Chains A and B, each alone.
Chain A
Amino acid sequence: MKVREGPAPASFKAGDLWAAIALGAAGFLCNMLELDLGWGLHFMFGNALVFAFIRVLRPRSLVLAIAISSLRSVFLWNHPWAWLIWTLEAGFLVYFARKEASPVRSDVLYWLLVGTPLLLVTYGLVMGMDQLSLSLVIAKQATNGVLNVVIGELIYLAIISMRRPARWANWPRMPIESFAMLLLQAIILMPTTVYLYLDAPSREQAVRTVVDDALQQRLHISSSTIGMWAESRAAMLGMVADKQLAMGQTAPVSLPEGLRREFAAVGIVMKDGTAQWSDAPGWVDKTTLQRLASRHLARPDGVRLVSTGAQGGTLQTELVLIVPSGASARPAAIIAPVRPGVLMQSLPLPVDNPVSGTFLVNAARDIIPLSPADPSVLVRVHDMPENLGKAALKDAVLVSNIAYGRALMSDLRDAQMIRATPVAGLPDWQVLSIASLAPEVLAAREGQVELFLALSAFVLLVTLIASVLSRNTKRSLRRLARSVADLAVLGTQRDKIDSLVIAELSDISGRIASASSMVSRDRGALISYQRRLDSIARHAPILVYAIDVQNRKKGGLLYVSEAIERITGYTRDEATISGWWGHAIHPEDYDRCLALFGDLQLGKVITAEYRLRHKLGHYIWVSDTLAVEASASSDQTEAVGVVIDITERKAASEQLQQADKMVSLGRMISGTAHELNQPLNFIKMAASNLRERARRGQIDADRLIAKLDSILSHVTRASGIILQMRIFGRIPREEPFPIEVKAAIDQVLAMAAPQLELDGTLVETSDCAPGVMVRALPVLLEQVLLNLVLNANDAIRVRRKTGDARDGLIRICVSKRDALAIVTVEDNGTGLSADILPMIFEPFFTTKPPKEGTGLGLPISYGIIRDLGGTIQAANIEQGARFIIELPLAE
């Protein structure tokens, strides 16, 4: 989720500069508290303090702060490369942080693309670091860098979560992808680092112990061997002295062959200071030796191994074994100069041991190698500080020629451990062993390299996973945020979601994202559905209402749609006033509607057409459909109704009916014309004859009157025909009333007779029961019947035209069944073919050629009969067609 942007600092303010310097200084101090990961590997976290402010500091300030903070590395390691690389890291981060990328991910990228190559060049090429150490440095620096950014992010998260101080509260929120990245990296890096820190001393100790053990073993062997050697040689020399004394003072001293290999000569010093010597090589300075021996006579106890100092510029020291005799014995001491290298030969050579050298040393810094040793090692032992020598007696001591301050990282390869122990029986001497740490350190370092490389690989992997994950999370959260924003009723604002809420949301977003998207989709559908309904309710000429139903009677108006104003002119408030409907309804329709709506049974659907008075005074026709149903919220009954303005439809329907009547009249025109021509013809002939007689003066009053009477009767006959047409042709305005069906049939036949006669069609009405009454308007019922009769006549004419010369016959019957009046009209015409039978009551369906029929006759008949509450059906009979009208009987 993209959280609100904080106000970015507009310019480099003085306060900003001081803040950067202070922050850098704080980072520098923190860098002094490095974590020791063993063998010279240190983690420094001061830069984390600076990275925490990556979002709020200006880029230049941040780089400055890091440059200050990283100065610690220069003092620590005596080279500028770490400083350079860290400062570049800061530059890289601020550049990408501006683009709102995750700083952690940017840092991983930095170490992958920039940091590692730079380390290879500086540490590898410039400083010449060995490959193993270089790998370790690269892995460590990268891990350290990423960890710093992670810690910085955590610090920032803590600051914005606390919202304190208040002016920091509107710092930019942490984007969720940064948060996810941070969380995963922190999980990987922090425990590992803590583990490394806790584990490092024991690892280092393990190496030390291994070396120390080897040293101690060597020392033990060496010291006891030397001690035993001195003791045994002293005893053997004593025996030589005793033999000499027994032989007398003048006898030459002879050294047995075994001792001659180890000692260059032997001298027996008497108590009086005289000495007897065996044959001696020229280099043996007898006088000096005697003087040296006399110094030890005061301390008669124990054998002495005495150094005579370095000879000829070599470090090879001349050794003399001095064996003081007991107080009673005549010789005071035995002096035996030791041949060079004798001690080394007496010691077994070390096997599979890290110990690189063993030396016999004394307080005067005389060094006698007890094993073949590298001269450099000899030098190092010689140059060893005195306190280190003393410490080496107690514990193994690390010696190293430290070149870069505390940069043990590279020097530990050359580091060595020294341990010393006194020699039993030779109090002046110590045995000192020196061992190289390099093999153990390298082994330990290989382990570290593996560990850090694995860690780096994990960091990379996590970066990848977190990138993908955060993108998905971001998407889900964006959806979630949209849903949340949609639920504006809760007053939730996006910018109120702080980062902690984001963290919680990100936990649950996976689960609720799908649910929320579903809800939002459903809700969207619902809203659009509702809008559509509202729009329909507003624009359609439909009035929707709901009423309370009590005791199956209309109760109060619960709801009425806005359309009421457009349809009736009354507002919703006016319509809600009790009794409005009863007042607005047309008085002639009132009773009928009251009866219809009087029994509102559950499940009933009532449809009525009636007139309502518009607010402007005129009446409108409405169709009201009311459905009685159980209320959704309670166990009450309510009714939902739809009112449609059908004024225009009514008018159109009336016009259609009228048109249809005119068509019916038209269909009888030839019959009617013939019928009218008869009286006209008579009148014309009679008038013509009268004129002729008048012209001839043959007028006879009686005859004239009789003739005029005839003329008048024919005028009456003609006007009767026209009157009938006019009655039929006018638009009925009155209400239906009970009429006799037979009368309507007679009227229709009177009208149609001329045409029927003209076409030679016979009509049979013998089955017409008298006294069958229905409630209807005569004109409308006649229209229906006339239509049927004329249709029957047409069908007969069509049949006869096709050559079937049988007489046409129309049979009309009227009967009662139950509460219905049944009127059937049969003909022996063509009948109705099966494919047109279902369509004959549909508007504009006609079998007649154009101009002869509108196709509206039967549909209009259907409408008229339906309006009267009856039905009309058609069927084929043996000879032709049969139409059956059923109408409710009038009481």
Chain B
Amino acid sequence: MSRLNQRMPQSIAPQILLVDDEEDILPEYQEFLDLQGFPAGICSDPELAFTMVVNQPEIALVITDLRMAVLDGASLIRRLSASLPPERRLEFIILTGDATSQLAQDIAHVPVFIKPADTDALLAAIGSALDRAR
């Protein structure tokens, strides 16, 4: 995980943060978003991701997995929603491998993509989310 932190490009201020506790997949996501013109940060630790979002106001969109060992995606969304100042707009997209879970009522508005996700739809959702965040 420390390796991942080091690799995280601090200079470019990416507007998107990808959170997934499966480390293998993160670079692929990052590469995919890069290729599509969306520079994104990646983080495999939800706790760390929380700190990163709080500390980096330029992050406008968090794409997160739901099922993660330390802190699940739903909790992360709730904590971020609760912690950020009201003037900060932050959008969420859920990308999960679990097709059976139902979203809790309070985060029901968050778009959900089931892995393996339809890439075009995902890109469209990212684009509209970033538009809303601006």
- Enumerate chain A interface residues (CB-CB to B < 8 A): 670, 673-675, 677-678, 680-686, 688-689, 692-693, 696, 710, 714, 757-758
Residues of chain A within 8 A (CB-CB) of B47 are none
Per the 8 Å Cβ criterion, residues 1-40 of B in contact with A are 22, 24-25, 28-29, 31-32, 35
A74 to chain B, nearest CB (A): 127
Instruction: Name the 9 nearest CB pairs between A and B, nearest first.
Output: A677-B97, A681-B115, A684-B116, A685-B28, A670-B100, A681-B116, A674-B97, A692-B35, A677-B115
Residues of chain A within 8 A (CB-CB) of B25 are 678, 681-682, 685
Q: How far is the CA of A693 from the CA of B31 in the complex (A)?
A: 10
Q: Are B29 and A685 touching (Cβ within 8 A)?
A: yes
Q: Are B99 and A681 touching (Cβ within 8 A)?
A: no
Q: How far is the CA of A681 from the CA of B67 in the complex (A)?
A: 15
B45 to chain A, nearest CB (A): 17
Residues of chain B within 8 A (CB-CB) of A683 are 116
Q: How far is the CA of A245 from the CA of B98 in the complex (A)?
A: 196
User: Can you offer 8 A-B residue contacts whose CB atoms are under 8 A?
Assistant: A677-B97, A680-B116, A681-B97, A685-B25, A686-B28, A689-B32, A696-B35, A758-B98
Select one of B22, B67, B119 contacting A757, CB under 8 A: B67
B56 to chain A, nearest CB (A): 24
Residues of chain B within 8 A (CB-CB) of A696 are 35
Q: Are B35 and A689 touching (Cβ within 8 A)?
A: yes
Residues of chain B within 8 A (CB-CB) of A692 are 32, 35
B55 to chain A, nearest CB (A): 28
Residues of chain A within 8 A (CB-CB) of B114 are 677
Select one of A670, A680, A681, A689 contacting B31, CB under 8 A: A689
A353 to chain B, nearest CB (A): 145
Q: Are B116 and A673 touching (Cβ within 8 A)?
A: no
A-contact 0/1 string along B95-110, CB 8 Å cutoff: 0011110000000000
B57 to chain A, nearest CB (A): 28
Q: Does B71 contact A (CB under 8 A)?
A: no
Q: Does B48 contact A (CB under 8 A)?
A: no
B33 to chain A, nearest CB (A): 10
Q: Are B24 and A682 touching (Cβ within 8 A)?
A: yes
Select one of B24, B67, B100, B119 contacting A710, CB under 8 A: B24
Q: Are A680 and B98 touching (Cβ within 8 A)?
A: no
Q: Are B28 and A682 touching (Cβ within 8 A)?
A: yes
Select one of A670, A688, A714 contacting B119, CB under 8 A: A688
Q: Are B67 and A674 touching (Cβ within 8 A)?
A: yes
Residues of chain B within 8 A (CB-CB) of A693 are 35
- Enumerate chain B interface residues (CB-CB to A < 8 A): 22, 24-25, 28-29, 31-32, 35, 67, 69, 97-100, 114-117, 119
Residues of chain A within 8 A (CB-CB) of B98 are 670, 673-674, 677, 758
B111 to chain A, nearest CB (A): 17
Residues of chain A within 8 A (CB-CB) of B117 are 681, 684
Q: Are B115 and A680 touching (Cβ within 8 A)?
A: yes
Q: Report the nearest A residue to B116, measured CB to CB.
A: A684
Q: How far is the CA of A758 from the CA of B119 in the complex (A)?
A: 25
B51 to chain A, nearest CB (A): 24
Q: Are B116 and A685 touching (Cβ within 8 A)?
A: yes
A458 to chain B, nearest CB (A): 108
A756 to chain B, nearest CB (A): 12
Q: How far is the CA of A675 from the CA of B97 in the complex (A)?
A: 8
Q: How far is the CA of A680 from the CA of B99 in the complex (A)?
A: 14
Q: Report the nearest B residue to A717, measured CB to CB.
A: B24
* Interface contacts beyond A670-B98, A678-B25, A757-B67: sample of 6 additional A-B pairs, CB < 8 Å, sorted by A: A673-B97, A677-B98, A682-B28, A683-B116, A685-B28, A692-B35
Most buried by B among A674, A681, A686, A689: A681
Q: How far is the CA of A452 from the CA of B121 in the complex (A)?
A: 135
Residues of chain A within 8 A (CB-CB) of B24 are 682, 710, 714
Q: How far is the CA of A433 from the CA of B35 in the complex (A)?
A: 182
A319 to chain B, nearest CB (A): 168
Select one of B28, B31, B35, B116 contacting A677, CB under 8 A: B116
Select one of B35, B99, B116 contacting A670, CB under 8 A: B99
Q: Are A685 and B67 touching (Cβ within 8 A)?
A: no
Q: How far is the CA of A532 from the CA of B99 in the complex (A)?
A: 62
Q: Report the nearest A residue to B31, measured CB to CB.
A: A689
Most buried by A among B25, B32, B97, B117: B97
Q: How far is the CA of A693 from the CA of B35 in the complex (A)?
A: 8
Q: How far is the CA of A685 from the CA of B36 in the complex (A)?
A: 13
A574 to chain B, nearest CB (A): 60
Q: How far is the CA of A181 from the CA of B7 in the complex (A)?
A: 132
Residues of chain B within 8 A (CB-CB) of A758 are 67, 98
Residues of chain A within 8 A (CB-CB) of B100 are 670, 673
Residues of chain B within 8 A (CB-CB) of A675 are 97
Residues of chain B within 8 A (CB-CB) of A686 are 28
Q: How far is the CA of A681 from the CA of B65 in the complex (A)?
A: 12
Q: How far is the CA of A670 from the CA of B98 in the complex (A)?
A: 7
Q: How far is the CA of A680 from the CA of B25 in the complex (A)?
A: 10
Q: Are A688 and B32 touching (Cβ within 8 A)?
A: yes
Q: Are A678 and B97 touching (Cβ within 8 A)?
A: yes
Q: How far is the CA of A670 from the CA of B96 in the complex (A)?
A: 12
Known: A678-B22, A710-B24. A685 touches B97 (CB 8 A): no
B121 to chain A, nearest CB (A): 13
Q: How far is the CA of A688 from the CA of B117 in the complex (A)?
A: 11
Q: Report the nearest B residue to A710, measured CB to CB.
A: B24
Q: How far is the CA of A461 from the CA of B100 in the complex (A)?
A: 104
Residues of chain A within 8 A (CB-CB) of B29 are 685
Q: Are B115 and A678 touching (Cβ within 8 A)?
A: yes
Q: Report the nearest B residue to A714, measured CB to CB.
A: B24
Q: Are B97 and A689 touching (Cβ within 8 A)?
A: no
Q: How far is the CA of A757 from the CA of B119 in the complex (A)?
A: 27
Q: How far is the CA of A710 from the CA of B28 in the complex (A)?
A: 11
Q: How far is the CA of A684 from the CA of B116 in the complex (A)?
A: 6
Q: How far is the CA of A714 from the CA of B22 in the complex (A)?
A: 12
B44 to chain A, nearest CB (A): 13
B96 to chain A, nearest CB (A): 8
Residues of chain B within 8 A (CB-CB) of A670 are 98-100
Q: How far is the CA of A696 from the CA of B100 in the complex (A)?
A: 37
A612 to chain B, nearest CB (A): 48
Q: Report the nearest B residue to A678, measured CB to CB.
A: B97
Known: A678-B115, A686-B28, A688-B119. A673 touches B67 (CB 8 A): no
Q: How far is the CA of A688 from the CA of B67 in the complex (A)?
A: 24
Residues of chain A within 8 A (CB-CB) of B97 are 673-675, 677-678, 681
